[in-house]
Every structure is written in C-alpha cells, then in structure tokens.
Chain A
Amino acid sequence: AQSVTQLDSHVSVSEGTPVLLRCNYSSSYSPSLFWYVQHPNKGLQLLLKYTSAATLVKGINGFEAEFKKSETSFHLTKPSAHMSDAAEYFCVVSDSGSKTSYDKVIFGPGTSLSVIP
C-alpha cells in the first residue's frame, strides 16, 4: 500500500534563507512522485515531478527535489526563500507500475510554508 508522510505541518523561514520541506513515502511499486504548491484560495500547481531519468529533479521557481530510494524520501528544497513562496505544499505519490486506467494517487497532508521578511 502506498502512503506519504510530510514530516512538518508548518515550516517558517526568513526571506533569503534555504527552504527544506520533508517528504517520505512508501510504495509497493516503482513510484511516481510529485510536489504541488497551493497559494491561498487557489488550485494546486505542479512544482516538479520525479520521472526516473535523474534523481535530482528541478522544478519551477527555483525549487528542487532529490529522490533517495534507500531513504524513501523526496525532500523539496530551495536555496533562498522569497516572500511569494509562502503557500501550502503537497507531496504526492502515484503507482506508475499499474496498467489500469486509474492509478491511485496519494496526497500527503501538506506543509504550510511561512516566509518572514
């Protein structure tokens, strides 16, 4: 069975300092992994996705995530936080090995990022 754990429900950083949002997963198959961002009263926007081509994945707005199979982790990082990064972030796992039309997608509970001026 698949599951996603986001280790911090809330993270607060100062503007200009690094961001680390942690995600651990479990999956029976070779997983697809995603990070989505949701700004207040908006839908979810894809930040990046793990495609198995490279373990370090670059996304939009300077975000990166590293897939570590041995640690079953997919942590999201950014070298320098900006005020506009304040939002809710969701780690998502999907079973990419299934042949069915619908592959169950599991969302983590989310991490709220605050950026202090």
Chain B
Amino acid sequence: DVKVTQSSRYLVKRTGEKVFLECVQDMDHENMFWYRQDPGLGLRLIYFSYDVKMKEKGDIPEGYSVSREKKERFSLILESASTNQTSMYLCASSSLPEKDRYNEQFFGPGTRLTVL
C-alpha cells in the first residue's frame, strides 16, 4: 500500500519557535508538495520540490522554507512561528508527467499545527 506519512498529527508551538514538519513518501516520486488548508480558503500551495535539493515557491511561501536532502523526504520549516500560521498542513507527492500524465497527487494525513 503506497504511503505518504507526516511526522505529527497534532502539534502545539509557541510564537517565535522554529518548527519542523516532516513528510516521507515510499513511492519513489519525484515531486513533493506542501499545502496549508484553512476554512473557506481551500488548499494553498506553499512550496514544491521536483528533485532532491530543488525547490520552487508556491502561492504563499512567505514565512516558510523547505528542505529536500533525500528523494523520499520533504521538510517544511517555520523559521519563527506566528499565530497566523495556525493551520492544517498537508504533504503530497506525485510522479513525473512522463510516468503519470494525469499527475495524481497522493496525500499524507495532515498535521494540525497550533501556534500560541
């Protein structure tokens, strides 16, 4: 069974803390994504990576950074957490278009982050 796992389901942090959210996929996918999900706003792309050590900004990258040192792992970093970063964070992965032209994304269970 293919899987995308996220390190925590629930996380509570204080303002100003550095926060790491980890995502691991076992499907040998090239593409990995971080989204945040907020009521009424749907899913918004923060960053994505199409290869090891490669990254591209999504629609809302401010206040976030990412790291991809290994193909299977994609980390989202909040350098200094703020209350407006309280949200549900979803990680996803997908294959290359030449392998899967339909670009199906596979999602992890999500991390609900609360910043106090």
Chain A: minimal CB distance from B75 (Å): 17
Which of A96, A102, A110 contacts B102, CB < 8 Å? A96
B76: Cβ under 8 A from any A Cβ? no
Given contacts A109-B42, A110-B42, contact A103 B107 (CB under 8 A): no
Q: Is the CB of B42 within 8 A of A108?
A: yes
A46: Cβ under 8 A from any B Cβ? yes
| A: contact size bracket | 20 to 34
Chain B residue total in the interface (Cβ 8 A): 27
Q: Is the CB of B50 within 8 A of A102?
A: yes
B81: Cβ under 8 A from any A Cβ? no
Which chain A residues in 41-57 approach chain B with CB under 8 Å?
A: 41-46, 49-51
B15: Cβ under 8 A from any A Cβ? no
Chain A: minimal CB distance from B16 (Å): 27
B74: Cβ under 8 A from any A Cβ? no
Most buried by B among A34, A43, A46, A96: A43
Q: A77-103 toward B: CB 8 Å interface, digit per residue (1/0)?
A: 000000000000010101010111111
Q: Is the CB of B110 within 8 A of A94?
A: no
Q: Is the CB of B42 within 8 A of A103?
A: no
State the A residues within 8 Å of B (CB): 32, 34, 36, 41-46, 49-51, 90, 92, 94, 96, 98-103, 105, 107-110
Would you give 20 A-B contacts (Cβ < 8 Å), ordered by A? A36-B107, A42-B109, A42-B110, A43-B90, A43-B108, A43-B110, A46-B104, A46-B106, A90-B43, A92-B105, A96-B101, A101-B30, A101-B50, A102-B31, A102-B48, A103-B103, A105-B103, A108-B42, A109-B40, A110-B42
